[in-house]
Amino acid sequence: MFRTLMTSTAIVIALGGPAVAETFEVKMLNKGENGRMIFEPSALRIAAGDTVKFLATDLGHNAESVKGMMPEGAESFKGKINEEIEVTFPEAGFYGVQCKPHFAMGMVMAVAVGDEAIAPDSFLEGRLPKKAKERFEEALSGL
Ligand SMILES: [Cu+2]
């Protein structure tokens, strides 16, 4: 005689905490809608605790933070060439991201974390290649 006992228990706990963190994808491209050697999108607004995944859609790129273009206390990050890294941004503020080999060609993006509308003056104060600065300015205006 066989006896089968099936028990199914579902426990649903409703949490009133903050929204679940999201993951956003950014492509690293040789050619995008807005030019060559480019992050797409090149401007992103996310919430603190969200993650950005950098996709090696085209080869030969990396994603790393730009020195001096982060809120104080935030941790820098650096992906290897062709590495798809996931970066979580716990600190609110503005972040500059670069592809090291194509920095001078303007392969940069801006990530705004939180609600602050305008980047601090210091964000673009550092030494930047002309094309990188232009792309940053473009990105900031699109946030
Ligand atoms: Cu690149």
- Quote the ligand 1 centre to 14 CA distance (angstroms): 43
Q: How far apart are CA 25 and CA 69, in angstroms?
A: 21
pLDDT exceeds cutoff 60 at 14: no
Q: How confident is the model at residue 123 (pLDDT cuts 50, 70, 90)?
A: very high
Q: How far apart are CA 43 and CA 35, in angstroms?
A: 14
Q: How far apart are CA 101 and CA 104, in angstroms?
A: 8
- Quote the ligand 1 centre to 135 CA distance (angstroms): 14
Which stretch of 9-13, 71-75, 89-93 has the lowest confidence by average pLDDT?
Answer: 9-13
Which stretch of 1-15, 23-37, 66-80 has the lowest confidence by average pLDDT?
Answer: 1-15
pLDDT exceeds cutoff 90 at 103: yes
- Work out the angle at residue 31's Cα, subtended by the Cα atoms of residues 60 and 138, and round it to the nearest 5 degrees: 105
- Quote the ligand 1 centre to 104 CA distance (angstroms): 10
Q: What is the pLDDT of residue 20?
A: 87
- Quote the ligand 1 centre to 107 CA distance (angstroms): 6
Could you tell me the domains of the chain? 23-141 (2.60.40.420)
Q: How confident is the model at residue 3 (pLDDT cuts 50, 70, 90)?
A: low
Q: How confident is the model at residue 16 (pLDDT cuts 50, 70, 90)?
A: low
- Quote the ligand 1 centre to 20 CA distance (angstroms): 31
How is the beta sheet containing 23-32 ordered, strand by strand?
35-40, 23-32, 51-55, 86-88
**11-17 mean pLDDT:** 50
